[in-house]
Amino acid sequence: AQSVTQLDSHVSVSEGTPVLLRCNYSSSYSPSLFWYVQHPNKGLQLLLKYTSAATLVKGINGFEAEFKKSETSFHLTKPSAHMSDAAEYFCVVSVGGSTLGRLYFGRGTQLTVWP
Amino acid sequence: SQTIHQWPATLVQPVGSPLSLECTVEGTSNPNLYWYRQAAGRGLQLLFYSVGIGQISSEVPQNLSASRPQDRQFILSSKKLLLSDSGFYLCAWSPPGRSSGNTIYFGEGSWLTVV
C-alpha cells in the first residue's frame, strides 16, 4: 500500500531563514516522488521530482529535496525563504503499475513567511 | 513549450443545471489527460483519465462524465448538477505512456459552486 505523510500542517519562517518541509512515504514499489506548490485558488505547480536518478534533486525557485530510502523520506528545503514562497506544498507519490494518473498526496503543508 | 488552458475559472450554477468545463493542451501530441477534484485540506481525487481520443476511464462513480473529442481537448460534463458537485476541479496532462516517473502538469483550476 502507498501513503504519504507530511509531518507538519503549518510551517512559519521569517524571510531569509531556511525552510524545511518534511515528507515521509510508504510504498510497496519503487516510487517516483514529487513536490508541488499551490498558491491560493491556483493549480498545482511542479517544484521538483525524483525518479531513481540522483538522490539530491534540485528544483525551481531555489528548492531542493533529498531522497533517503533508508528513512523513507523526501524532505523539501530552501536555504533562504522569500515572501513569494508563502503557499501550500504537497508531497506526492506515483507508483508504477497503479492506475494511470493515480497520485498519492500528503495532506499539504501551509508555509507562512513573515517579513 | 507545453501549455494547458482550462476554463471557466469560476462558475456558479443552480442545482439541476448542466455543466461543461473545458481543457486544452498545446505543444504536445497524444498526451494523457486527467480531471481531478480537490477537497479543502486534502489532496486531489482522480475523476477521469484518457490515453487517447474517445478513450475515457472513470475512477469513481458520480454525477459527472468526461469526453475527449480531439487529441488535446478534454471536457468535464454533467447533465444535472448536485450540490455535492461543488468544488475545485483541475485538468492535467502528462506525456504519453504509463511511466510512474512522468510528470503530471496541472491547469489553473475551475471553481464550481452549485447553488
Mean pLDDT of chain A: 91
Please report, as a single letter, which amino acid is at residue A91: C
Eight-class DSSP state of A96: T
> b/e map of B66-93 (b: 16 or more CB within 10 Å)?
bbbeebbebbbebeebeeebbbbbbbbb
Residues of A in contact with B90 (CB under 8 A): 43-44
What is the rounded distance in angstroms from the CA atom of residue B112 to the CA atom of residue B19? Answer: 9
DSSP per-residue letters across A29-59 = S-EEEEEEEE-TT--EEEEEEESSS-SEEE-
Chain B's closest residue to A9, CA to CA, is B41
What is the rounded distance in angstroms from the CA atom of residue B100 to the CA atom of residue A101? Answer: 9
Task: Cell numbers for B97, please give them.
Answer: 505512456
Please report, as a single letter, which amino acid is at residue B113: T
Under 8 Å between Cβ of B96 and B25: no
Q: What is the pLDDT of residue A25?
A: 93
Task: Cell numbers for B55, please give them.
Answer: 478513450
Among A3-7, A55-59, A103-107, the minimum mean pLDDT is found in A103-107
What is the rounded distance in angstroms from the CA atom of residue B107 to the CA atom of residue B115? Answer: 25
The answer to whether the Cβ–Cβ distance between A107 and B43 falls below 8 Å is yes
Residues of A in contact with B37 (CB under 8 A): none
The predicted model gives B6-18 an average pLDDT of 96
Please report, as a single letter, which amino acid is at residue A45: Q
The predicted model gives A57-66 an average pLDDT of 95
Question: Does residue A92 have a pLDDT over 80?
Answer: yes
Question: Does residue A42 have a pLDDT over 90?
Answer: no
SS3 of chain B: the string is: CCEEEEECCEEEECCCCCEEEEEEEECCCCCEEEEEEECCCCCEEEEEEEEECCEEEECCCCCCEEEEEECCEEEEEECCCCHHHCEEEEEEEECCCCCCCCCCEECCCEEEEEC
Task: Cell numbers for B87, please give them.
Answer: 468544488
Under 8 Å between Cβ of B1 and B71: no
Per-residue pLDDT band at A98 (split at 50, 70, 90): low
The answer to whether the Cβ–Cβ distance between B104 and A42 falls below 8 Å is no
* pLDDT tens by residue, B26-78: 999 999 999 999 877 667 888 999 999 999 998 876 789 999 999 999 999 99
Higher pLDDT, residue B31 or B102: B31
The answer to whether the Cβ–Cβ distance between A103 and B101 falls below 8 Å is no
Q: What is the pLDDT of residue A2?
A: 77
Question: Does residue A65 have a pLDDT over 80?
Answer: yes
Task: Cell numbers for A33, please give them.
Answer: 516522488
Q: What is the pLDDT of residue A80?
A: 97
What is the rounded distance in angstroms from the CA atom of residue A51 to the CA atom of residue A46? Answer: 14
Q: Which of A46, A52, A105 sits opposite B103 (nearest CB)?
A: A46
The predicted model gives A34-58 an average pLDDT of 90
